[in-house]
């Protein structure tokens, strides 16, 4: 994910009205950042690896031997700087 610009930390964004499945496949792929696809009927991680990842989606499948750390922020920093509730 980019560290600057208009959307720092956002790796993948899909509008909530889009129900298309999102696929993150391949053992050589490494994901780090926010993956946002709340309307997706299926988000697939097949062998993909990742660092600190924030996931927002309807449903997901984790297959293969990939490793995703869902527990801690990057060293020396916080991934989410400001939370905003919207209606």
pTM, rounded to two decimals: 0.67
Distance (Å) of CA 50 to CA 7, 19, 34 = 19, 23, 11
Please indicate whether residue 19 or residue 62 has the higher confidence score (pLDDT).
19
Residue 57 is encoded by which pair of tokens?
A: 């989606």
Q: If pLDDT is split at 50, 70 and 90, which confidence band does 18 have?
A: very high
**The predicted structure's pLDDT at residue 73:** 59
Separation CA 87–CA 78 (nearest Å): 25
Of 10-14, 18-22, 46-50, 64-68, the least confident: 64-68
pLDDT in tens, 41-78: 888 877 767 677 777 887 777 666 555 555 555 566 66
The candidate with the shortest Cα–Cα distance to 44, out of 16, 12, 72, is 12
């Amino acid at each position: 994910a980019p560290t600057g610009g208009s959307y720092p930390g956002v790796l993948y964004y899909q509008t909530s009205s889009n129900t298309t499945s999102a696929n993150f496949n391949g053992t050589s792929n490494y994901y780090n950042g926010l993956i946002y696809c709340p309307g997706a009927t299926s988000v697939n991680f097949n062998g993909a690896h990742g660092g600190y990842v924030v996931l927002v989606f309807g449903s997901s499948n984790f297959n293969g031997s990939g490793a995703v750390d869902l527990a801690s922020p990057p060293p020396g920093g916080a991934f989410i700087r400001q939370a905003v509730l919207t209606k």
